[in-house]
Amino acid sequence: MRHRHVSLLGSAFAAAILSTAAVAPAAAAPAEAALAAVSGPVVADSYIAVLKPGADTARAGSLTGRHGAGLRTVFATGLRGCAVQGSAPAARRIAA
């Protein structure tokens, strides 16, 4: 009985370690949001980054600058986000 109990604890411990190891690299990578495709005419390197709920739109200028993009417009009602001029990876990081 004791051997079985120790074996179960060992298995649970191993599972916890393996699941933590699998999640750790994903958590360390910078977050990026998905980009939505549109139909019709588009402006090259222009994106609308939708911010997370509760995000402070007043920080949009520093956020876009930090990611190497230019701020065009800030949206604070209805849609909380900003129009940015920059690369697709920069737009994803701003929206994340």
Does the residue 78 lie in any domain?
A: yes
H/E stretch holding 17: helix 2-28
- Domain extent at residue 62: 46-95
| Lookup result for tokens 């990578």 | 29
Shared domain for 50 and 80, answered yes or no, is: yes
Instruction: Give the mean pLDDT of 38-62.
Output: 88
Q: pTM for this structure?
A: 0.59
The tally of CA atoms less than 13 A away on the side-chain side of residue 18 is 6
Does the residue 40 lie in any domain?
A: no
User: pLDDT for 76-85, tens place per residue?
Assistant: 988 899 999 9
Based on the structure, what is the number of domains in the chain? 2
